[in-house]
Chains A and B, each alone.
Chain A
Amino acid sequence: AQSVAQPEDQVNVAEGNPLTVKCTYSVSGNPYLFWYVQYPNRGLQFLLKYITGDNLVKGSYGFEAEFNKSQTSFHLKKPSALVSDSALYFCAVRGSDRGSTLGRLYFGRGTQLTVWP
């Protein structure tokens, strides 16, 4: 069965410091991994994805994520946080084997990131 865990409901970090939002997954076959961000009363905005290739993926707004197959993790990172990064972040996964339901994304519960000035 496909699932995603975001172990931290909240992450607090001071502006200018590095940030990490954690995500681990369970999936059949090779994983397709995604990060989205949601601002209050808005839809989800796509940040980045891992399909194959280089384990370090770069995305929008200076965010990057590192795929670690042995630890089944896909943590979101940014070297220097901004107050405007404060939002709700979702990790999502889709499996790739024949048994997986193609198309459907499985989401974590989300991590609220707060960046203090």
Chain B
Amino acid sequence: NAGVMQNPRHLVRRRGQEARLRCSPMKGHSHVYWYRQLPEEGLKFMVYLQKENIIDESGMPKERFSAEFPKEGPSILRIQQVVRGDSAAYFCASSTGTQKGDTQYFGPGTRLTVL
């Protein structure tokens, strides 16, 4: 059973460009979460999605950031007009649901560098 997959693993963008990060959940998982890890900090929640629905985006910056999880294909985290402060590791996790005890399994992350 393949784990959570993320690509690309490393992404370099210049200021003002767009970054697209992809996440394929574990087989059988329909819940996806995105977290951001800044240097020397823990993970901060960004957004929680189910297929075709955004459940909680309270951790997402109001501007430039968006996320989707279409019926077919991976979840996408999009950052428009990137700035240097967007440089971070972005992790995706998946789970079977939100019943008590559900474990979130994490992907290897995408490390975004903004020049």
**Cross-chain contact A90 with B55 (CB below 8 angstroms):** no
Closest to B59 in A: A104
**Cross-chain contact A107 with B107 (CB below 8 angstroms):** no
| Number of residues of chain A lying within 8 A (CB) of chain B | 26
B93-112 contacts to A, CB under 8 A, are: 93, 95, 98, 100-101, 103-109, 111
Partner of A51, one of B44, B45, B100: B100
Range, interface on chain B: 20 to 34
Partner of A43, one of B33, B58, B100, B108: B108
Question: Interface digits, A20-63 against B, CB 8 Å rule (1 contact, 0 not)?
Answer: 00000000000010101000011111100101100000000000
On chain A, the residues within 8 Å of B93 by CB distance are: 44
Partner of B43, one of A41, A46, A96, A107: A107
**Given A44-B91, A103-B48: A49 in contact with B42 (beta carbons within 8 A):** no
**Cross-chain contact A49 with B45 (CB below 8 angstroms):** no
On chain B, the residues within 8 Å of A92 by CB distance are: 43
Please report the number of residue pairs spanning A and B whose Cβ atoms sit closer than 8 angstroms: 65
Closest to B31 in A: A103
Partner of A101, one of B6, B35, B56, B100: B56
Nearest-CB distance from A44 to chain B (Å)? 4
Q: List 28 A-B contacts (CB under 8 A).
A: A32-B101, A36-B106, A42-B108, A43-B91, A43-B106, A43-B108, A43-B109, A44-B106, A46-B104, A46-B105, A49-B101, A51-B101, A92-B43, A101-B48, A101-B56, A102-B98, A103-B31, A103-B48, A103-B95, A103-B98, A104-B33, A104-B48, A105-B35, A105-B45, A107-B42, A108-B42, A109-B40, A109-B41
A contact residues vs B (CB 8 Å cutoff): 4, 32, 34, 36, 41-46, 49, 51-52, 90, 92, 96, 101-110
The 5 closest A-B pairs by CB, nearest first: A107-B42, A51-B101, A44-B106, A43-B106, A43-B108
Extra pairs beyond A44-B43, A104-B56 (8, CB < 8 Å): A32-B100, A46-B106, A49-B103, A102-B98, A103-B95, A105-B35, A105-B43, A107-B35
